[in-house]
Amino acid sequence: MFQPETTRFAPSPTGPLHLGHAYAALLAHSAARETGGRFLVRMEDLDRGRCEARHAVGILEDLNWLGLHWDEPVCRQSERFTLYSSALESLTRRGLVYPCFCTRGTIAREIAGLAAAPQGPDGPLYPGTCRHLTGSEREARLAEGAAHALRLDIGLAVQRLPAGALCFEETGQGPEGETGLINAQPALLGDLVLGRKDLGVSYHLAVVVDDADQGVSLVTRGHDLYSAAHPQRLLQALLGLPVPRYRHHPLIRNAAGQRLAKREHAQTLAALREAGMTPEQIRRQLGLG
């Protein structure tokens, strides 16, 4: 007998949904319904400068049109900063977070000057410039009111963990065919930004807090977020949070083989609906009919 799964679809309301979003939402919905579980919708609207209420409304309209219904009120990250701040403060108290005063420009220049810059799956990683500042140097910069982000000291965080490998279960396949019990690589993305003046907290911190708080048992999402599971597994361990299982899936691509983007208006669900397509045709086009 299947265990009821709690899944979630978590779009950012920065634009309309496209076929790639529909695929992700349908997979999450099916995983919940097939096991008699719960399907949740979460608006990842941390970036209040880019997220718009009209897009949030449009997203819910598109989901209703697809025939997807959620089992709890829509969760909005913009209303949950107290929860995230508590988690960030917990890490800060343990000395696992440090202020980073680098701009994108200074980071780029430092990386360019390194003979062998640290590399992640998507390119060079933050080289740890501000991690090496002394306590007095940090205090002086903070006293000056210098703009800064808050980064997780990955190396120190890993040292603080109990002995034993960090693992997560991949029930689908990663981009290179990874499946089953995966040994997490916490340092894969370097010293993550956890707090920012403009956003409050980062995606990585908010998502692990939300998944735990909402009881999400199965995270379904695209291959583009597979690498994020590694440091997120570290955050779950540091914060004492339950660990969901993961099911990563291929991305929907256009005729040129490029992943769909919100700027491609012709591929939005609203445009396809206006062109006369039905939800059943959408499902068949995505191989889910």
Q: Report the C-alpha gap between 92 and 82 in whole angstroms.
A: 15
* pLDDT given for residue 267 in this prediction: 80
The verdict on pTM exceeding 0.85 is yes
Banded pLDDT at 255 (limits 50, 70, 90): confident
Domains 1-79+253-289 and 83-249 share a fold: yes
Average pLDDT over residues 16-34: 96
The reported pLDDT for the residue numbered 219 is 98
State both tokens at 195. 């707090």
Question: How do residues 109-167 score in pLDDT, each as one tens digit?
Answer: 888 777 666 777 777 889 899 999 999 999 999 999 999 999 999 999 999 987 777 99
Euclidean distance between CA atoms 75 and 72, whole angstroms: 8
On the question of pLDDT at 31 being above 90, the answer is yes
pLDDT of 289 > 90? The answer is: no
What percent of the chain lies above the pLDDT cut of 90? 79
3-state secondary structure of 156: helix
- Evaluate if residue 205 carries a pLDDT over 80: yes
Query: How much of the chain exceeds pLDDT 70, in percent?
Result: 95
What confidence category does residue 263 fall into, taking pLDDT thresholds of 50, 70 and 90?
A: low
Q: Please give the pLDDT value at position 196.
A: 86
What integer pLDDT is reported at residue 104 of this predicted model?
86
| Domain regions of the chain by residue span | 1-79+253-289, 83-249
Q: In Å, what is the CA distance from 82 to each residue of 41, 42, 209, 243, 263? A: 20, 17, 11, 22, 33
pLDDT at 117: 67
Q: Which residue has the higher pLDDT, 107 or 251?
A: 251
Least-confidence region, from 47-51, 93-97, 171-175, 207-211: 47-51
Q: Which contiguous run of DSSP H or E holds residue 195? A: strand 193-196
Q: Is 279 helix (H, G, I), strand (E, B) or coil?
A: helix
On whether the CB atoms of residues 194 and 86 are closer than 8 A, the answer is no
Superfamily of domain 83-249: HUPs (3.40.50.620)
Is domain 1-79+253-289 classified as CATH 3.40.50.620? yes
For the chain, the average pLDDT equals 92
